[in-house]
Every structure is written in C-alpha cells, then in structure tokens.
Amino acid sequence: IHNTQAKPNETKELTYYADKYLPQLSNELGVKFTIVEGGRYRPANGSYKSHHTTGEAADVSMSEHNVNTRLRFIESQLKNPQVKKIGTSDPNILAKYGTNPKIEDERKFDKQHGTNHVNHAHITLNTGISNQMVRMKAPNGRIVLVPQSMVEQATKQGGVRL
C-alpha cells in the first residue's frame, strides 16, 4: 500500500484495494470480484453520509455470486486487516457472521434509502483519513482530499473547506 499512488478523490488504500488486492483475491479464490459501477468515489448527495465521499469505501458486487462464494469473500474480508467494516443486508452473511464487529447490518439503511446491500458488499477501509485528510472544494470546482498540513495553503489558493 505504501508505494501506491492514489487515484483522484481516493485514498491510496482504496486504490490499492480496488486495483491490486481485489484482482489478487479473485485469482486466489478462482472467482472474479468487481467493484460495482460508481462503487468507489462519489460526491456527497446530501441524503446520507458515506465513506465513498472521502475515498475510503468500495462496493464489491455480490449479485453474480452464489451463497458459498459470497461467504468465502466475506470470510476473507473479516481476516483482512485493511478492512474496517463490511456493510451487507444479505441474510446468509448476517446469519453466519452477523455477530462479528466488522459486519454492519444494512437492512434498516436499505429500507430507509432504497438501496440494496444484498447485491453488493460495502467495504470500508482502515485509512486513518479522518485524522489526516480534509475535504475541500478546489478553485476549479472539484472536490478533493487535502492533507491537514496543506489546508492553509490550499485555502490561500482559493480552496474552500467543506
């Protein structure tokens, strides 16, 4: 992870997870795992807070996998120190792993927001970003993550803290 160059609006942990780790896991388990369309960074929409807006989360597609493969994936993520939380509303996963502190039951959230965490696993990564990075709007309108130590300089150059 240390040598990973973060993609725009992502932490290096997310870039590493999506571009390096997930393909390696696919090879190990003999099944292709993919990030769903729009399942990495997405700007805040105001309806709820998401780790996607800070580049700390990925949605891994589960819809094309059988129950056994989904359970194998979740088991591997429970052992992965890079993973902080796994959001799901899959009844099979919740029945087997629901008491694990890394598992977040998304059934209530799905009902409230019209989402479906059976079709994907919401993976939140351990990044430490909340202590290190600040979301800002750059002069060109882009939302960017700025190291805490650079906020003053970014503000002088026209950036706005969000």
**Residue 74 pLDDT > 90, yes or no?**
yes
What are 112-133's pLDDT values in tens digits? 989 899 999 999 998 865 446 6
Tokens representing 28 are 């190990």
Side chain identity, residue 138: A
Report the chain's mean pLDDT, rounded to a whole number.
88
Q: Pick the closest to residue 57 from 92, 14, 95, 2 (CA basis).
A: 14
Q: What is the pTM of this model?
A: 0.76
Indicate whether 45 pLDDT > 80.
no
Widest distance between CA atoms in the chain? 53
> Cα(24)–Cα(18) distance, rounded to whole angstroms?
10
CB 41 within 8 A of CB 55: yes
Selected residue with higher pLDDT from 153 and 88: 88
